[in-house]
């Protein structure tokens, strides 16, 4: 089994009508646990076995059921849905769904999506043993497997065993863990590692600047955006060093994390991680640190509060962007602004000397939130305003641009 993480990968799951549909729920759970985003299409038959509510609760998204639904078509229509995915999975795949897909029939949302997609399709067949062994089904399965390139459908299962109907033989849907493993393998095969051989350094989270042994200056950065970027870079094959201020997040799979507290420590760690091809500086570095940190706890004194003398921290991004033999080929910074985003971000691009700036509109609640509205500013290129999306999606979109840049 490949070791790729499913973090931020997008799976469109089509749930057909069969008793095995309950296994689709466990599959969604496994996929979500591995970090994948899942959207579900539920056929009329599937809805006889699992409820749209179960799938919506487990995927965290509304379930798509109807082809001609004004609601669905304005939010995410069948074409968009079929393109959104990195992989389409049909589980359980009934004899009916297999027959439609093999013959290009498009008369409901599931079959139409299968024809419209430009991604690989994985099917987990489930049906009675006689149905599975019927030459018509076998001919359809052979036909699906024989389509050229991307259109060739991969199969997982069916397994041999006792069936819900009491008969015995091949026809049971593969277990969720086996479908999950097949999904990982297919995603790894789908050329998912275009950044292999490239090194990346990412900073994330706040810094903590001590005042005395128990107090300090910090900020409300959660580190979520930087961690998501590190995960997406690693997933695309880059060798990632994540230099993190104090946050409560797990290190993403395959990422080398270095803990730091202060801006000065962060700068030392960034320098030590060079050379790198890609640098993404998403940490909220404190602008100042306390001059002369007290060696013991500062006591409350009758004369009133102490005054703190502050000195400027090194600007890690500006230092990294300066021309020199160790400058990464692509240096990306962030600009969190509450107003005049474009003006401020473009000014920061020139002042810091980096290549790209992710302009972050923090006028609404971004700190600690799971979604983000950003604009990508690049020298000599028009602004790219991205719709408000999850931080995982921001990371994926950014990494797509990075892949294009190096392609
Ligand atoms: O100047 P400002 O803090 O607004 O710039 C934000 C960008 O600069 C972010 O990419 C941040 O990680 C980086 N930065 C840095 N070192 C500093 C201050 C900011 O790397 N001391």
Tens of pLDDT along the chain (407 residues) come to 334 457 668 999 999 999 999 999 999 999 999 888 999 999 999 999 999 999 999 999 999 998 877 666 666 677 888 888 989 999 999 999 999 999 999 999 999 999 999 889 999 999 999 999 999 999 999 999 988 767 889 999 999 988 777 888 889 999 999 999 999 888 876 656 889 889 999 999 999 999 999 999 999 999 999 999 999 999 888 999 999 999 999 999 889 999 999 999 999 999 999 999 999 999 999 999 999 999 999 999 999 999 999 999 999 999 999 999 999 999 999 999 989 999 999 999 999 999 999 998 887 766 667 788 899 999 989 999 988 888 888 998 899 899 889 88
User: Which residue, judged by its Cα, is nearest atom 7 of ligand 1?
Assistant: 334
Supply the pLDDT for residue 74.
Answer: 60
Are 111 and 100 spatial neighbours (Cβ–Cβ below 8 Å)?
yes
Q: Cβ(356) to ligand 1 under 6 A?
A: no
- In angstroms, the CA 292 to CA 274 distance is 30
Can 10-189 and 199-406 be said to share one CATH topology? yes
Burial 35-47 (b: 16+ CB within 10 A, else e): bbbbbbbbbebbb
Closest to 123 (Cα-Cα) out of 24, 33, 30, 19: 24
| Residue 179 in tokens | 């479908």
The pLDDT of residue 161: 84
Nearest protein CA to atom 5 of ligand 1, as residue: 335
Contact 62, 75 (CB under 8 A): yes
Helices (H), 147-205: 176-189
The pLDDT of residue 261: 98
What SS3 class is residue 358? strand
* Domain locations along the chain: 10-189, 199-406
Cβ 182 vs Cβ 220: under 8 Å: no
Q: Which among 316, 349, 361 is the best mutation to test ligand 1's pocket, defined by most ligand atoms within 8 Å of the CB?
A: 316
**C-beta 281 within 6 A of ligand 1:** yes
Atom of ligand 1 nearest to the CA of 333: 10
CB 232 within 8 A of CB 272: no
Determine the distance separating the centroid of ligand 1 and the alpha carbon of 215, expressed in angstroms: 23
Å from CA of 7 to ligand 1 middle: 27
Q: How far apart are the C-alpha atoms of 109 and 79, rounded to whole Å?
A: 10
Ligand 1 neighbourhood includes 285 CB (under 6 angstroms): yes
CA count, 13 A, side-chain hemisphere, 83: 5
How open is the CA angle 213-218-221, to the nearest 5 degrees?
A: 140
Q: Which residue has the tokens 């699906």?
A: 144
Give the residue numbers annotated as catalytic, written as ranges: 165
Summarize pLDDT for 360-396 with one digit per residue, the tens. 888 776 666 778 889 999 998 999 998 888 888 899 8
CA 75, distance to chain mean position in Å, is 20
> What is the 291 CA–ligand 1 centroid distance (Å)?
20
Residue nearest atom 17 in ligand 1 by C-alpha distance? 315
Tell which one of 223, 243, 285, 312 to mutate to probe ligand 1, the residue whose CB is within 8 A of the most ligand atoms.
285
**Cβ of residue 263 lying under 6 Å from some atom of ligand 1:** yes
CB of residue 334 inside a 6 A radius of ligand 1? yes
Does the beta carbon of 332 lie inside 6 Å of ligand 1?
no
Q: pLDDT of 209-242, one tens digit each?
A: 999 999 999 999 999 999 999 999 998 889 999 9
Cβ atoms of residues 75 and 51 within 8 Å: no
Ligand 1: centre distance to CA 297 (Å): 30
Tell me the HSE value of 56 on the side-chain side, using a 13 A CA sphere.
8
CA of 163 to the centre of ligand 1 (A): 60
Q: How far is the CA of 357 from the centre of ligand 1 (A)?
A: 11
pLDDT at 184: 86
Residue 311 parent element (H or E): strand 310-312
Residue-level pLDDT at 137? 97
Compute the distance from residue 183 Cα to the ligand 1 centre, in Å. Answer: 39
Q: Is residue 313 in contact with ligand 1, taking CB distance under 6 Å? A: yes
Residues 388 and 361: their CA atoms lie apart, in Å, by 10
Enumerate the H helices of 236-366 as residue ranges: 263-273, 316-321, 341-352
Q: In whole angstroms, what separates CA 107 from the centre of its chain? A: 32
Q: Which atom of ligand 1 is nearest to the CA of 203?
A: 12
366 lines ligand 1 (CB under 6 A): no
Instruction: Evaluate: CB of 316 within 6 angstroms of ligand 1.
Output: yes
Considering only CA atoms, which of 350, 351, 357, 365 is closest in space to residue 332?
357
326 HSE (CA, 13 A, CB side): 9
CATH 1.10.640.10 applies to domain 10-189? no
Q: 202 CB less than 6 Å from ligand 1?
A: no
Architecture of domain 199-406: 3-Layer(aba) Sandwich (3.40)
206 secondary structure, DSSP code: B
pLDDT of residue 163: 73
Is any atom of ligand 1 closer than 6 Å to the C-beta of 283? yes
* CA separation for the pair 11, 2 (Å, rounded): 17
Instruction: Look at residue 72 in the predicted model and tell me its pLDDT.
Output: 61
Calculate helix-pair angle for 109-116, 95-103, nearest 10 degrees. Answer: 40
């Amino acid at each position: 089994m490949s070791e790729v993480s499913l973090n931020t990968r997008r799976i469109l799951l089509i749930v057909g009508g069969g008793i095995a549909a309950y296994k689709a729920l466990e599959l969604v759970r496994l996929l979500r646990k591995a970090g994948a985003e899942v959207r579900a299409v539920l056929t009329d038959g599937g809805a006889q076995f699992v409820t749209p509510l179960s799938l919506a609760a487990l995927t965290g998204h509304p379930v798509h059921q109807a082809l001609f639904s004004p609601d669905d078509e304005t939010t995410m229509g069948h074409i968009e849905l079929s393109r959104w995915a990195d992989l389409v999975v049909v589980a359980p795949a009934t004899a009916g769904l297999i027959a439609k897909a093999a013959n290009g029939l498009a008369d409901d949302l599931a079959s139409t999506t299968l024809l419209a997609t430009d991604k690989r399709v994985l099917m987990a067949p489930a049906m009675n043993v006689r149905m599975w062994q019927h030459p018509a089904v076998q001919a359809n399965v052979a036909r699906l497997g024989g389509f050229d390139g991307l259109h060739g459908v991969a199969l997982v299962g069916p397994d041999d065993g006792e069936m819900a109907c009491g008969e015995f033989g091949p026809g049971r849907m593969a277990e969720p863990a086996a479908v999950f493993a097949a999904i990982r393998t297919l995603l790894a095969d789908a050329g998912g590692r275009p950044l292999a051989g490239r090194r990346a350094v990412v900073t994330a989270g706040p810094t903590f600047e001590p005042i005395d042994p128990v107090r300090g200056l910090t900020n409300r950065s959660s580190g979520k955006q930087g961690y998501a970027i590190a995960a997406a870079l690693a997933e695309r094959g880059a060798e990632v060093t994540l230099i993190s201020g104090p946050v409560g997040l797990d290190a993403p799979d395959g990422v080398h994390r270095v803990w730091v507290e202060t801006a000065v420590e962060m700068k030392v760690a960034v320098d030590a991680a060079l050379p790198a091809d890609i640098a993404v500086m998403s940490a909220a570095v404190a602008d100042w640190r306390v001059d002369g940190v007290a060696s013991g706890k500062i006591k409350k004194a009758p004369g009133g509060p102490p005054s703190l003398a502050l000195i400027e921290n090194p600007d890690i991004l500006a230092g990294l962007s300066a021309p020199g033999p160790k400058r990464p080929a692509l240096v990306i910074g962030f600009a969190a602004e509450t107003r005049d985003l474009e003006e401020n971000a473009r000014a920061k691009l020139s002042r810091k000397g980096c290549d790209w700036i992710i302009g972050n509109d923090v006028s609404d609640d971004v700190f600690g939130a799971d979604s983000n509205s950003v604009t990508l500013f690049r020298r000599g290129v028009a602004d790219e305003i991205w719709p408000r999306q999850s931080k995982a999606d921001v990371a994926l979109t950014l990494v797509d641009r990075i892949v294009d840049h190096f392609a």
